[in-house]
Amino acid sequence: MDHDFYWGFSHFWWLIFPLFWMVIVLAWGWSRHSRANRALDIIKSYADQGKDPPPELMKSLQGGTDGYCGWGGGWRYSPEGRLQRAIVFTALAIAFGVLTFWYRDDSSHWHHHSGLFVPTIIFAALAFSNFLTLLLMSRGWPPHDKDGRGQ
């Protein structure tokens, strides 16, 4: 039984990272959900009193970048966030690629570590998609008719 656990852990240790990421995302989502519920309760109490809620509270529920619920609202879609994620995924793809194809001695071939090739491909695809999104995302230019003169 111990041998099976050791074999499984030694071959699939890299699954710790995506599992940890999933736990963090679930915790973040739950935190954001509970903050939104608290904000809705506050708005309900304002409505019961016949008062208008503060604009900051309304902006936080609409996902504004100044007072959003959670830490992912404004950063998530910003160019800086995309660039940071692209760099992190590129570094992870390179690290897993080196671990996959690095020859330690003559008896160890890359196919013995081919399980690391899967995360290499996944991280490379994520890095490529973030770089591509960064290149193709709109820059927030104002529309032509913003001054009221039409196009």
DSSP string, 128-148: HHHHHHHHHS---PPPGGGGS
Q: What is residue 103's predicted lDDT score, i.e. its pLDDT?
A: 62
Phi-psi region of 150 (alpha: psi -120 to 50; beta: other; left: phi over 0): left
Torsion of CA 33, 38, 40, 45, to 10 degrees: 170
* Average pLDDT value for residue range 82-99: 90
* Verdict on whether the full-model pTM lies above 0.85: no
* Average pLDDT value for residue range 4-25: 82
Whole-angstrom distance, CA of residue 41 vs CA of residue 60 = 13
**Phi, then psi, of 20 in degrees rounded to 5:** -60, -40
Instruction: Please give the residue that has the higher pLDDT: either 88 or 5.
Output: 88
* Average pLDDT value for residue range 55-59: 78
Map out the domains of the chain as residue ranges.
18-75, 77-139
* Average pLDDT value for residue range 117-134: 92
Q: What is residue 77's predicted lDDT score, i.e. its pLDDT?
A: 66
Read off the pLDDT band of 87 (50, 70, 90). very high
Q: What is residue 67's predicted lDDT score, i.e. its pLDDT?
A: 40
The helix (H) or strand (E) run that includes residue 79 is helix 79-101
Residues in the chain: 151
Q: Can you read off the two tokens belonging to residue 92?
A: 């992870």
* Average pLDDT value for residue range 61-90: 67
Read off the pLDDT band of 143 (50, 70, 90). low
Q: What is residue 2's predicted lDDT score, i.e. its pLDDT?
A: 57
8-state DSSP, 52: P
Whole-angstrom distance, CA of residue 34 vs CA of residue 69 = 9
Check whether 123 has a pLDDT greater than 80. yes
